[in-house]
């Protein structure tokens, strides 16, 4: 399959014919990757079983994971899902368009693979201008998981998508690097209080400011057999090498990260260290990769997946990563790092 690449440079107004061409591919049942404010998504017509099935084939993704549906605005929602509960309306008013997915009961007219046999579906309105323009042009709901091969770190740049899926999909809309860097926050508003199923760019504290109490789903800390949201299976977002996450602070954190890296080197492994700007010059390893500034969690979220993919390109076999206190945006970051490390998280002092 030939994969066409449309270069938008993040500007939805820059090339309307390209967007119309990409929209036509989606309307015809094809697969198109496109940028959102979180990560790149791999889109297909959410009402077409054949189109949605091709997402799973392209990604090599198990079909028991539900997909998130993207729409351009709230106007068509009632065609696909039931009424928003009051707390869902409050969250939508505050965070849509944006990196928030709401779990709602569906009306049974989406492709069955989208919902993975569940009575609910995740739906959101992205805020990226290219994503919105594409959704407005195609005028259909688009199912779109992250545009990567299943299990690999999610793509935050068009080149990540090209590396994973060239020849497996019909097109890629190149809108530059994404902004948030981790997937959308997923909240089940069919329950009261609402349940946080996946942390993302909207933190738990931000949700509480709008609706008060929020439950944290226990699936965030363990594997689940029947996930209600993408990203709840254990090995997810993972680099090819074996990864450990060390949680601590200051000199003690640096000491333990370096010690664990040295252990890998002694075993003859190709060792990488994932760190932040504050500590980068204190480590020695085959590759030291910076994902952001520890004092600015948003930069770490934005740089995490690119750093993990850089380790893959370099051939890292043993990766030791600095962890973070699971608060605010770092709660979302640590969720992804825990999945990437398959649960290998070491807390200094415990």
Task: Read off the pLDDT of residues 178-236 as tens digits, 9 standing for 90 and up.
Answer: 999 999 999 999 999 999 999 999 999 999 999 999 999 987 765 555 555 555 554 56
Is there a single domain that holds both residue 263 and residue 217? Answer: no
CATH code at position 108: 3.90.870.10
Instruction: List, for residues 145-181, the tens digit of each pLDDT value.
Output: 999 998 899 999 999 999 999 999 999 999 999 999 9
Residues annotated within the binding site for L-threonine are 38, 70, 124, 184
Q: Is residue 232 part of a domain?
A: no
Is there a single domain that holds both residue 90 and residue 184? Answer: yes
Is there a single domain that holds both residue 253 and residue 341? Answer: yes
d(C-alpha 247, C-alpha 97), whole Å: 34
Is there a single domain that holds both residue 23 and residue 166? Answer: yes
Segment 303-318 mean pLDDT: 97
| Residue 76 CB coordination number (10 Å) | 13
Is there a single domain that holds both residue 62 and residue 148? Answer: yes
Backbone angles phi, psi at 231, to 5 degrees: 90, 5
Is there a single domain that holds both residue 213 and residue 247? Answer: no
d(C-alpha 251, C-alpha 119), whole Å: 50
Is there a single domain that holds both residue 187 and residue 300? Answer: no
Is there a single domain that holds both residue 267 and residue 209? Answer: no
Q: Is residue 138 part of a domain?
A: yes
CATH code at position 256: 3.40.50.11030
pTM given for the model: 0.93
284: containing domain? 242-347
pLDDT-derived band at 238 (thresholds 50, 70, 90) equals confident
Q: Is residue 235 part of a domain?
A: no
Q: Residue 14 pLDDT > 80, yes or no?
A: no
Question: Could you give the number of structural domains in the chain?
Answer: 2
Residues annotated within the binding site are 38, 61, 65, 70, 120, 124, 144, 146, 154, 184, 198, 237
Residues annotated within the binding site for ATP are 61, 65, 120, 144, 146, 154, 198, 237
d(C-alpha 36, C-alpha 133), whole Å: 11
Is there a single domain that holds both residue 40 and residue 187? Answer: yes
Is there a single domain that holds both residue 102 and residue 198? Answer: yes
Is there a single domain that holds both residue 198 and residue 124? Answer: yes
- CA torsion angle 294 164 133 130 (round to 10): 40
Strands 32-35 and 171-174, sheet pairing: parallel
d(C-alpha 213, C-alpha 246), whole Å: 30
């Amino acid at each position: 399959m030939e994969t066409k690449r449309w270069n938008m440079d993040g500007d939805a107004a820059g090339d309307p014919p390209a967007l119309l061409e990409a929209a036509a591919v989606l309307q015809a049942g094809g697969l198109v990757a496109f940028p959102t404010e979180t990560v790149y998504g791999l889109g297909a017509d959410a009402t077409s079983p054949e189109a949605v099935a091709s997402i799973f084939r392209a990604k090599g993704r198990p079909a028991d994971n539900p997909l998130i549906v993207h729409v351009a605005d709230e106007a068509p929602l009632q065609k696909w899902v039931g009424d928003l509960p009051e707390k869902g309306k409050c969250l939508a008013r505050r965070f849509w368009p944006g990196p928030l997915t709401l779990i709602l009961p569906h009306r049974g007219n989406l492709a069955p693979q989208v919902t993975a046999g569940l009575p609910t579906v995740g739906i959101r309105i992205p805020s990226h201008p290219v994503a919105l323009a594409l959704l407005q042009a195609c005028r259909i709901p688009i199912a779109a998981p992250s545009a990567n091969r299943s299990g690999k770190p999610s793509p935050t740049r068009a080149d990540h998508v090209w590396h994973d899926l060239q020849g497996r999909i019909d097109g890629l809309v190149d809108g530059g690097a994404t902004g948030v860097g981790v997937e959308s926050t997923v909240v089940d508003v069919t329950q009261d209080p609402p349940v946080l199923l996946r942390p993302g760019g909207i933190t738990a504290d931000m949700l509480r400011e709008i609706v008060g109490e929020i439950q944290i789903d226990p699936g965030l800390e363990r594997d689940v057999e029947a996930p209600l949201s993408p990203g709840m299976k254990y090995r997810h977002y993972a680099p090819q090498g074996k990864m450990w996450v060390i949680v601590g602070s200051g000199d003690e954190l640096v000491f333990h990260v370096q010690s664990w890296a040295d252990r890998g080197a002694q075993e003859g492994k190709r060792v990488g260290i994932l760190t932040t700007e504050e500590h980068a010059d204190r480590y020695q390893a085959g590759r030291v990769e910076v994902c952001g500034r520890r004092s600015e969690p948003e930069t770490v979220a934005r740089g995490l997946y690119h750093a993990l993919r850089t380790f893959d390109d370099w051939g890292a076999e043993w990766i030791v990563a600095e962890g973070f206190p699971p608060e605010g945006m770092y709660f979302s970051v640590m969720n992804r790092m825990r999945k990437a490390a398959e649960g290998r998280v070491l807390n200094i002092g415990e």
